[in-house]
Amino acid sequence: MPVIEVTKLHKRYGDLVAVDDVSFAVEAGEIFGVLGPNGAGKTTTVECVAGLRVPDGGGVSVLGLDPRRDAAQLRQRVGVQLQESQLPDRLRVAEALELYASFYRNPADPATLIDKLGLGDKRNTAYKLLSGGQKQRLSIALALVGNPEIAILDELTTGLDPQARRDTWGLIEQVRDSGVTIVLVTHFMEEAERLCDRVAVIDRGRVVALDSPAGMVSTVAPQQRIRFRPSAPVDDRLLTDLPEVSAVQRTGSQVVVTGTGELLHAVTSVLARHQIVAADLRLEQSTLDDAFVELTGHRPAN
């Protein structure tokens, strides 16, 4: 039973079609990624799910409820981190969290959350004086302070340094392990690969792929590459005869084999049969980056 169901969502701003036709379902307890180039309609989609924008067509159901009609109920149960949203300059970290906690029936403990997000020594700092990454962490904390069943996080780690990003991933995994369903909009393929159980790639208002990160890579960009230095001369044909191999190249003493499927197993077995040792062997697999480029024709922002 999915906790979020989006069917044939359509949303336009005047003449501009921001979301053309988007459908997906998010299962309870998963981390669901929404990827796509700038302006693809990601924010518009998740804000329709959050009940902040009214769709022009299609349906959205969250926890079996309607985000507009049952807004009051859903606001207790869904935490949202908006892509662009600030706080008053003079508001302090602890004040913001305590205030937001007071809106919910079963809030998380603000002090614990502050520590978890590494804002412990900033609890009495005014919002204006926080660094970009600290503001971002506060924003994540505000989305989680109501102990939501679903957290919608738009651009979770944009603006964070690599260490803070990894810490935040750890936090999100903890949140997921506590049973929260997470919808994550991101531009970072590494983040999606590490965190997401499934991802939807949206391009120009449509879902162009929906799969697990690994599944998406293997269907969209299945090419693998093996490099090694053979201990004895290898006849190219030995390798090209393998069904998994699509090409063999040589650079100096190095052999580069490109192919799909169980490429590594096939190549190493045939070499072993001929008593050839593969030194400096490296396997290069496609990543979600490659799949993203294949799907959208855009380089992911990094």
Ligand X SMILES: Nc1ncnc2c1ncn2[C@@H]1O[C@H](COP(=O)(O)OP(=O)(O)OP(=O)(O)O)[C@@H](O)[C@H]1O
Q: Is 257 left (phi over 0), alpha (psi -120 to 50) or beta?
A: beta
According to the binding rule CB under 6 A, does residue 18 interact with ligand X? Answer: yes
- CA distances 40 to 18, 123, 192, 217, Å, are 7, 36, 17, 20
- CA distances 85 to 121, 140, 193, 221, Å, are 23, 11, 27, 36
Binder to ligand X among 3, 9, 44, 198 (CB under 6 A)?
Answer: 44
* Six token digits for residue 86: 């600030």
Question: What is the smallest separation between the CB atom of 108 and other proteins, expressed in angstroms?
Answer: 13
Question: What is the smallest separation between the CB atom of 97 and ligand X, expressed in angstroms?
Answer: 26
Upper half-sphere CA count for residue 198 (Cβ side, 13 Å): 13
Binder to Mg ion among 43, 139, 157, 218 (CB under 5 A)?
Answer: 43
Of 44-83, binders to Mg ion (CB under 5 A) are 83
- 104 is in the binding site of which of other proteins, Mg ion, ligand X, none (Cβ under 5 to 8 A by kind)? other proteins
Q: Residue 43 or residue 181: which is nearer to Mg ion going by CB? A: 43
According to the binding rule CB under 8 A, does residue 100 interact with other proteins? Answer: yes
User: Of the listed pieces 5-13, 72-80, 186-194, 280-288, which binds other proteins according to CB under 8 A?
Assistant: 72-80
Binder to ligand X among 4, 24, 26, 41 (CB under 6 A)?
Answer: 41
According to the binding rule CB under 6 A, does residue 33 interact with ligand X? Answer: no
Q: Got the DSSP string for 125-140?
A: -BGGGS-HHHHHHHHH
Q: Residue 128 or residue 274: which is nearer to other proteins going by CB? A: 128
According to the binding rule CB under 8 A, does residue 238 interact with other proteins? Answer: no
Q: Which of 81, 93, 164, 84 is nearest to 128 (CA)?
A: 93
- Which residues, 6+ apart, have CB-to-CB distance to 121 below 8 Å? none
Contact 104, 77 (CB under 8 A): no
Q: Which of 221, 167, 218 is nearest to 194 (CA)?
A: 167
Radius of gyration of the chain (CA): 24
- 84 is in the binding site of which of other proteins, Mg ion, ligand X, none (Cβ under 5 to 8 A by kind)? other proteins
Question: What is the smallest separation between the CB atom of 85 and other proteins, expressed in angstroms?
Answer: 3
Binder to other proteins among 5, 70, 95, 211 (CB under 8 A)?
Answer: 95
Q: Residue 96 or residue 216: which is nearer to other proteins going by CB? A: 96
Q: Residue 40 or residue 295: which is nearer to ligand X going by CB? A: 40
**Residue 156 DSSP label:** S
According to the binding rule CB under 8 A, does residue 91 interact with other proteins? Answer: yes
The Cβ of residue 190 has, within 10 Å, a number of other Cβ atoms equal to 18
Say if residue 5 is exposed, middle or buried (CB neighbours under 10 Å; 0-12, 13-18, 19+).
middle
- 36 is in the binding site of which of other proteins, Mg ion, ligand X, none (Cβ under 5 to 8 A by kind)? ligand X
Question: What is the smallest separation between the CB atom of 185 and other proteins, expressed in angstroms?
Answer: 15
According to the binding rule CB under 8 A, does residue 109 interact with other proteins? Answer: no
CA pair distance 94, 291, nearest whole angstrom = 42
- Which residues, 6+ apart, have CB-to-CB distance to 120 below 8 Å? 114
Of 77-116, binders to ligand X (CB under 6 A) are 83
Binding site for ligand X (CB under 6 A): 13, 16, 18, 36, 38-44, 83
Binding site for other proteins (CB under 8 A): 50, 52, 72, 75-76, 78-80, 82, 84-88, 90-91, 95, 99-100, 102-104, 142, 146
